Chains A and B, each alone.
Chain A
Amino acid sequence: MDFLADALKRALLLLVSPDSELIGIISLSLGVSGSAVALATLFALPLASALALKRFPLRGVVLSIMNTFMGLPPVVVGLTVYIIFSMNGPLGVLELLYTPYVMVIAQFLLALPIVTAISHSAIVGVDPAVSDAARTLGATPSQRAFTIIKEARYGILSAVMAALGMVMAEVGAVLIVGGNIRGYTRVMTTTIALEADKGDFELAIALGIVLLGISLIINSVLYHLQRKGERP
């Protein structure tokens, strides 16, 4: 028990006066996961809108792919991306393996189905009367689509937050493709895994607390978004 209390004390001390390694790890985590989700949103939003508002061939297929991939295990995504970017893989020449870039790509693939599927159901869930109103008030098809998407804005933001929470917390994908290289591809989750393994709990606990805090923030934002999305 003594050593646990001691580790906790030193972790708290580290949080109060963080060293450059801790700051670097947190920044990389936020940077990788933030870019991955931002990029995913950029693709997911038009995709979800098209899936919700247009009828086109393979629409049902894309939709079920998104729903299935939503629950994809991060290690599987990590492995797939690893194979694609490994030396003999189809994109091996890019030499992106064990860089933050490939970590962004892996987390992008994890986030894309989440943002797409949740945004899709938010857009589909908009009262059809809103669409009728826009139309009869003289909206062009694209103005109407914009109006509907705007009505779904809280649901879409929830999708983004849910994806961010998921990729910030995952360890499998970034560990496989990033390699957990100190000072370069080491993020919060992979550091925790490694330090705990080494029996060095100080940094692991400090990062655990930070992760918990981030997840707390994300969840309270989600909670508020969901409340705002309901009829006020």
Chain B
Amino acid sequence: MSLTVSVEGIWKSYGGHDVLRGVNYSFNPERIYALMGPNGSGKTTLLRVLSLLETADRGEVIYTDGTTAPLEHNIALRRRITLLLSSTGLFNASVMKNASYGLSIRGIRGDEARERAFGALSLVGLGEMERQNALTLSSGEAQRLAMARAIAHEPEVLFLDEPTASVDIENTQAIEGVILGMKGTRSIILSTHNEAQARRLADVVLYLRDGLIMEG
């Protein structure tokens, strides 16, 4: 059974400011969702809560994976989901080392890891740059490397926070191609400020407004 996620009554505030105000939503499996909303509306916050990087003040994140272990300690579940952040946090290591990180921490090393990482790098057009240090990449290249690193280990639920934020038109098309290529194989929840992009990619477009999700 494919992994699905839903949220029930999620509240999150920072310093007395309520960012999420009781968000309810069930994401269907193997669909692509686009999350829209003005700056500061809480898209990144919601994605961080959904991907278990942060805990909500109130409410629940529910994964249908059959286990009941507390989510923050459930490594097995965590390893089936991944969030791509816009602050990429690339490692001071080669492009290849970065791309194969998710595989390596899962115990997949050697030729298999190299091949799978190389496949992900090729998808984002970085196949030729595997030896370069990741910190010397341009911001658009860095964004694409972070994308490759997030998909190399093929997570079942993928969260993408503004995956084309600092990417040029040509590479935006490449990344959109990668996302569309995964359509129907896993749940993807992405945030974007680009309405046209949301329509191109998503099965469902969601709006975050006043701390709540609305379907558009």
User: B residues within 8 A CB of A131?
Assistant: 89
Interface residues of A (CB under 8 A from B): 127-140, 143, 147, 150-151, 231-232
B83 CB contacts on chain A under 8 angstroms: 136
Q: Does B101 contact A (CB under 8 A)?
A: yes
Which B113-156 residues sit within 8 Å CB-CB of chain A?
A: 133, 135-136, 146, 149-150, 153
25 example contacts (A-B, Cβ-Cβ < 8 A) are as follows: A127-B87, A129-B89, A131-B89, A132-B53, A132-B85, A132-B87, A133-B88, A133-B146, A133-B149, A135-B53, A136-B83, A137-B102, A137-B105, A138-B75, A138-B78, A138-B82, A138-B102, A138-B105, A138-B153, A140-B75, A140-B105, A150-B91, A151-B92, A231-B135, A232-B135
B17 lies within 8 A of chain A by Cβ? no
A138-B79, A151-B92 given as contacts; is B85 within 8 A of A129 (CB)? yes
With A136-B85, A232-B92 known, 6 other A-B pairs at CB within 8 A are A129-B87, A136-B83, A137-B105, A138-B102, A139-B105, A147-B91
Which chain B residues border A132 with CB–CB below 8 Å? 53, 85, 87, 89
How distant is B97 from chain A, measured CB to nearest CB, in Å? 10
Q: How far is the CA of A139 from the CA of B104 in the complex (A)?
A: 10
A137-B149, A138-B102, A138-B105 known; A232 vs B136 contact (CB < 8 Å): yes
Instruction: Identify the closest chain B residue to A151 (Cβ).
Output: B92
Complex interface: chain A residues within 8 A of B178 (CB): none
Q: Which residues of B lie under 8 Å from residue A147 when comparing CB positions?
A: 91, 101
Contact between chains at A133 and B85 (CB < 8 Å): yes
Cα A139 to Cα B107 with chains together (Å): 11
Per the bound structure, the CA–CA distance linking A130 and B149 in Å amounts to 13
Contact A151 B91 (CB under 8 A): yes
Q: Does B191 contact A (CB under 8 A)?
A: no
C-alpha gap A136/B86 in the complex (Å)? 13
Q: Which of A134, A135, A138 has the most chain B CB atoms closer than 10 A to its own CB?
A: A138
Which residue of A is nearest B54, CB measured? A132
Residue pair A136, B53 in contact (C-beta under 8 Å)? yes
Q: Which B residues are CB-close (under 8 A) to A138?
A: 75, 78-79, 82, 102, 105-106, 153
Chain B residues near A137: list those with CB within 8 A: 82, 101-102, 105, 149-150, 153
Partner of B105, one of A127, A128, A129, A143: A143
Cβ of B204 within 8 Å of any chain A Cβ, yes or no, is no
Q: How far is the CA of A147 from the CA of B79 in the complex (A)?
A: 16
- Chain A's closest residue to B149 (CB) is A137
Considering the chains assembled together, what is the distance between the CA atoms of A135 and B91 in angstroms? Answer: 13
Other-chain residue from A127, A140, A143, A232 in contact with B89 (beta carbon distance below 8 A) = A127
Q: How far is the CB of B103 from chain A (nearest CB, A)?
A: 9
Q: Output the least CB separation between A140 and chain B (Å).
A: 6
What residues of chain B lie closer than 8 Å to A143, measured between beta carbons? Answer: 105
Contacts of B192 in A (CB 8 A): none
Most buried by B among A129, A137, A138: A137
Given the complex, which residues of A lie within 8 Å of B89, measured CB to CB? 127-134
